[in-house]
Structure formats: C-alpha cells, structure tokens
Amino acid sequence: MTSDPPNLETDAVVQVAPAPGEESSELQRMCVERDAAVEELAFLREQLRSTEAFYAHRFELEYTRLYAEHRGFLEQLTRLSAEFHRRARRDDPMREDALTAPSDPADAALLPQER
C-alpha cells in the first residue's frame, strides 16, 4: 500500500491560497481602513462647511462696512456739491442780487480778489 505521490502543483496552490482565517483578517483590516477614511472624509467636510460659514460671515461684515462707508462718502460728496453750488450761485458777480460780501468768512477765499 503505497500512498499517492505528492502533486507539486496542487500543493503549491494550497500553500499560496490564503487560509480562511487570513482572508477574513485581511477583509477586516480593509474595512477598518475604509471606516477610518470615511470618518476622516466626514471630518474634512465639516471643516469645509465651518470654513465656508466663517468666510461668508466675514464677507457679509466687510460688505456691510464697505457699503456704509460708500454711502457716507456719497452723502458727503452730495453735501459738498450742494454747498459749492449754493456758494457759487450766491457769490456769482453776474447775478443782480449777488451779495457784495460773503456771509461766511471762510467763503471770502472763494471770491475773486479785486486789484
């Protein structure tokens, strides 16, 4: 009673193929890596949302500040323009009802100097 001679091809395949326990441990390792990657992705998404909200808030504050500053400049420009036109009309030498002396001493510098 002789045993069958060893088959080198099937023995090599059996040795190369992972054992059922090794296969499940490799699968578990891959699942752990996947879960860690999903958790990191969720963290990064939350960081991105937080950063977007922060910069949206900063943009809104800066926009509001610039808008108010712009409105202030426009109001000041309108006021200065109206004052300039008022002085120009009042001090116009061609007008019949022009005053001979400005009512405001600061306006004296705007009048043409007589020689």
The token pair that represents 51 in the structure block: 């950063």
pLDDT confidence band for 11 (50 / 70 / 90): low
For the chain, what are the domain ranges?
20-95
Give pTM, 2 decimals: 0.44
3-class DSSP string for 90-101: HCCCCCCCCCCC
Residues 6+ away with beta carbon under 8 Å from 96: none
Residue 73 has pLDDT above 90, yes or no: yes
Average pLDDT over residues 82-104: 72
